[in-house]
Amino acid sequence: MAICGSCGAAYAAKVLSDGRIQPIGIGSCDCGSEDFKPVDE
């Protein structure tokens, strides 16, 4: 899971090989942010 760093919306996500968090199926949050933070399930 990951949460948007701007609005806090939660998404299913995966961690990329470079360590960034990529929400599955979307490119950015509904609020427009692309800053996601990992959270424990």
Which parts of this chain interact with Zn ion (CB under 5 A)? 4, 6-7, 9, 29, 31, 33
Report which secondary-structure segment, H or E, holds 22: strand 21-23
Residue closer to Zn ion, measured from CB, 17 or 27 = 27
Minimum Å gap between C-beta 35 and Zn ion is: 8
- In the DSSP assignment, the letter for residue 6 is T
* Sheet strands side by side (includes 36-38): 10-11, 2-4, 36-38
Residue whose CB is less far from Zn ion, 17 or 35: 35
C-beta closer to Zn ion: residue 17 or 25: 25
